A and B are shown apart, each in its own frame.
Chain A
Amino acid sequence: MLVEFQSVTKRYGSVRALDRVSLTLQPGQLVAVLGANGAGKTTFLRLLAGVAAPDSGEIHFDHEPMRREDLAQRQRFFFLPDFPALFLDETVLRNLGLILRLYGADRPGVEGQVVELLRDFDLLTLADAPVGTLSRGQIYKTALAALIAADPELWLLDEPLASGMDPHGLTAFRRHVRDAVGRGRTVLYSTQVLDSVERFSDRVCLLHEGEVRAFATLEELRQQSGGANDVLERLFAQLREEPR
């Protein structure tokens, strides 16, 4: 899915969360959205998911403007907030079933994939447990399993690396994301964990005070900074030193 941001601005009161952001995301990319607290990362993802509305500018999917009433378009992306919206009284399995059916992803064979995903995320034994009785990491894994099984074209994940998942879950998450990108899915995730970004991204989108300061591969960023290995740390340090 080709995603285009065309001069998108979003304000919350007097705060400009995103300021005339324009960029294009090609299909089959793993993009890490980086930035300090309040840089606009979550707003960026929420705008793409249609949860937030731009004050000006437009968002296009495959050259078509975003339309909330276009069900087919909405089934092409999945937004996973840092605190997933699931029914706490319902079981893991019931939540998965409802979400997959909402996405029209209850295709033949998905049941086998669900078993594998629950096993990967150590949730198989908890399949009948109400989501409300799980820990934060397990709740996130449940929503993640739903996303992976639904397999939309655009994956939007808010802070998955700080979601409370254990190392085993994080490893499984990375593996599934790499597989999805290999299948041509576009994956965007916000994070502040710089070490992970270096190993786990095709491109980096660096946001600062609502502006895109860099949108490039790590290699390109290194070349621009004279080949420094710690290019992300340097960029962050530069941004901190900028006068407000």
Chain B
Amino acid sequence: MNAGDREFCRRLEAAAQAAGAGRRAGIWTRLMRATRPFWVTVVAALLVTAGVALGDSLSGGGKRLTLAVLALVLCFDVHQRLAKTLYQDADLLALTLLPASREWVFRRQLRRGLWEMVFLLPLGVALVWIARLGTRPDMVALPLAVGGGLLLGGCFAGFGVLALRWRHAATVRGVIWMGLVVLWLGNFVAPDGLKQALLEFLNQYGDMAAGLLPTGWVIGPLHRWLGGESHASDALWLLPAGALLTLLPAVLRWAEANYRFRDAVLLDYAAEPPADCDDEDRAAIAEQHTRPTHTGLTEITERILSREFLLPASGPDRGWIERLVWRWWTPRERLLAEWDWAASPSWTWSWKTGAMLLTGGVFLTLAGRLLGWLWLEAALPAGGILGGLACLPVLTGFAGGRLAIPPAGSLEFSPLTPYPRTFRELLFLLVKASVVRAAAAVPLAVVFGALAGHLREASWLAGADLGLRACVAACAVTPLLVTARIASGTNDTQRFNFRTLLALAGHIVGFLATCGLLVASFVVPGGWWFLLGGLAMSWLWTFTYRVTVNRCWFDLMKRG
């Protein structure tokens, strides 16, 4: 950047301040904006580490998994904050009024977003300190914590930025939060039998599950090293983490190339390029004003008169699951689906991916047994978890869609506003899709469950039953996910009064009760009754929430 460019940028920033983009909020608002992810993480830490990691209930693997999940929550919070700063920041409105290029706005917002990640460094230190306390507290802990914390903070920030490229990030974040809640419930609320079963599961499979999480690749070796249990091969875990972080420049280049905000408004204001505008900006403005968007008037008029623009979509052109769902939807639901899904969903592709992962898990386990490589046994739970996530409707129900109405000024409208559509319509639209997807996953889940049961020396039948329950549980979660999606686009979780507090309490109770029942259905005898209870609880809470939406208990908008 030469001196002229620097001066131009400085003047732009000054103008942004003057236009209100950099206006000063109250100190409390600024503090909360800057520290929100910190507080979210602190709450998570209180939920989990206080209950599990610092307790005596878990051995090394369970602790490492808990810390890895906690760190993953942190990464997704970083991602969410950065995405908000880049795409939904209130400053963007003012920046549209300035003759700033898209790239300049992207870099400015990115700088701001990255600056807000500084909180990760003390948090990383705290995580290492916790890990150290759990093993052997001594004076060495502090410098170790500082060094390790810087490493961890940097890695987590990097993972958070990488998630910008991942369209399922927001949904995965919700799933990880559910995992945290389940851990907390298992430790504090669950009956002894369930608690014992959960802790045994975590201790037995903790390291394996942590190995599936990018944060586990960093936390695992570090934790073992701090506890004096490390092995030279632990360093190998750092390789995939390093490899992942080398993608950072490519992800940032992609984000910059695809950056969209209301630049068209800016160019309208800047029809006459400012005197100090450089050649590149002049060319961009000229190109914008001469873009060939005009088609022949007669042709357009004829096309409009043919009512082509009012015709409903003809349905998905690929994917048998998509076609089945489309057939089940009513014409009104199909219209809403057109509204909600910019591109055709890829459920069949997800189903195929899930099938491949499940099959791969079984074959690798069998191959491991034949060859005597017992470490390949890990492929069975890994294939089960990843395959299940891919083909069951727990991740991709919303991702890839455009349920949120584009920000209007500094407001973000919920999917229910400002156009006429109801919560009930949206709920049934997504529940129908989930039911078809879950039904399509039944054969896969049952066959995999039966084979896994046999390989694990349990009964075929018990494994198949477990697979079937997973499909029903995925359906039971859908109404909760829809409710959470609507609630996250409203002020009810941000501006509290009696009604919103009541709604929030209802969210928590309904959510925890459903999760508790669903988890219990997998680990205690008589699981199907718990599963049906979870299904009923999920619908009961969703119905109650719908009543509060209907009666206007809270806003259906969120300030950006």
> What residues of chain A have their CB less than 8 Å away from a CB belonging to chain B?
11-13, 46, 49-55, 66-71, 74-75, 79, 81-89, 93-94, 96-103, 106, 110-112, 114-115, 118, 124-129, 132-139, 164
Contacts and interface: CB of A to CB of B under 8 A. Distances in A.
A193 to B, nearest CB: 19
A84 B408 contact: yes
A129 B422 contact: no
A133 B294 CA distance: 12
A69 B295 contact: no
Interface string B289-300: 001011101001
A102 B335 contact: yes
B295 A137 contact: no
B346 interface: no
Interface stretch (B118-126, B411-419, B431-439, B530-538): B411-419
Contacts of A82: 408-409
A127 B418 contact: no
Interface string B416-449: 1111111111000000000000000000000000
Given A46-B557, A68-B549, A112-B305, A87 B402 contact: yes
Contacts of B363: none
A52 B411 CA distance: 12
B295 A125 contact: yes
A111 B264 contact: no
29 contacts: A13-B495, A49-B418, A51-B417, A51-B557, A52-B555, A52-B556, A52-B557, A68-B416, A68-B549, A69-B549, A71-B425, A74-B420, A74-B421, A79-B417, A81-B411, A82-B408, A83-B409, A87-B402, A97-B310, A111-B309, A115-B305, A125-B297, A128-B300, A132-B264, A133-B264, A135-B264, A135-B268, A136-B262, A164-B268
Contacts of B304: 93, 111, 114-115, 118, 127
A132 B417 CA distance: 20
Closest 6 CB pairs of A and B: A135-B268, A74-B420, A129-B293, A97-B309, A83-B409, A69-B550
A31 to B, nearest CB: 19
Contacts of B419: 85, 99, 102-103
B110 interface: no
A135 to B, nearest CB: 3
B556 A75 contact: no
A12 B494 CA distance: 11
A127 B546 contact: no
Nearest to B292: A129
Contacts of A135: 264-265, 267-268
Nearest to B421: A102
Given A51-B417, A52-B555, A68-B550, A111 B310 contact: yes
A28 to B, nearest CB: 22
Contacts of B402: 87
Contact of B268 (A51, A101, A136): A136
Given A88-B406, A93-B304, A135-B264, A51 B293 contact: no
Contacts of B311: 97
Contact of A81 (B300, B416, B418): B418
Interface in B255-269: 260, 262, 264-265, 267-268
B552 interface: yes
Interface in B474-512: 495, 497
A88 B260 contact: yes
B307 interface: yes
Interface of B: 93, 260, 262, 264-265, 267-268, 288, 291, 293-295, 297, 300-301, 303-307, 309-312, 335, 338-339, 342, 402, 405-409, 411, 413, 416-425, 495, 497, 546, 549-557
Given A87-B402, A88-B406, 7 more contacts: A68-B552, A69-B550, A81-B418, A85-B419, A88-B260, A102-B419, A136-B268
A202 B355 CA distance: 66
A93 B557 contact: no
Contacts of B310: 97, 100-101, 106, 110-111
Contacts of A12: 495
Which of B312, B406, B553 has the most chain A CB atoms closer than 10 A to its own CB?
Answer: B406
A137 B553 CA distance: 34
Contacts of B301: 115, 124
Given A66-B552, A114-B304, A71 B265 contact: no
B418 A85 contact: yes
Tell me which of A68, A82, A88, A89 has the highest count of chain B C-beta atoms within 10 A of its own C-beta: A68
Contacts of B297: 124-125
A222 to B, nearest CB: 35
Contacts of B307: 106, 111
A211 to B, nearest CB: 20
B294 A126 contact: yes
A78 to B, nearest CB: 8
A52 B306 CA distance: 38
A82 B418 CA distance: 12
A69 B546 contact: yes
A70 B420 CA distance: 9
B503 to A, nearest CB: 11
A67 B548 CA distance: 10
Contacts of A46: 557
Contacts of A127: 295, 300, 304
Contacts of A49: 417-418
A151 B268 CA distance: 29
